[in-house]
Amino acid sequence: MRTLEGAPVSLSDLRGPALVDLWATWCVPCARSLPFYQQLAARTGIRVVAISIDADDAPVRKWLLEHATSFQILRDPNGVVAEQLGMRVMPTSFLIDSRGVVRARHEGFRDEDEPAIEAEVRGLFAGG
């Protein structure tokens, strides 16, 4: 996994509290989940890390030009991290606590998932 600038990043660097989201520019539900995560970060202070599995950087860079984001974007073009995390559907997100333990996993995204995800994020900060 790497940054858009090419710097390597490992899974151990993703200690939380953090919401880690595996996504792609061509993923329709991702187009709804990422703006929600942007708002969630603003409301709760959760660190959001979005890991794109797009094969090329160009679509990701284009997406970033079209969408205002304050969260970190990483690249997993070969799907190595996606495989390590057992991703089966797009998007898949993980809530990671301060010890690096995955506390929750969400596969797919629907607007009606938003309240539950926000409650889990707030619980993560409360030590739950």
Express each pLDDT in 53-69 by its tens digit.
999 999 999 999 998 88
Structure token pair of residue 112: 């009606």
DSSP state for residue 55 in the 8-state scheme: S
End-to-end Cα distance, the chain: 29
What pLDDT was estimated at residue 41?
Answer: 95
In this prediction the pTM is 0.91
Domain ranges of the chain: 2-7+14-105
What pLDDT was estimated at residue 111?
Answer: 93
CATH number listed for the domain at residues 2-7+14-105: 3.40.30.10
- What are the pLDDT digits (tens) for 4-13? 899 999 888 8
**Position 127 confidence tier, pLDDT thresholds 50, 70, 90:** low
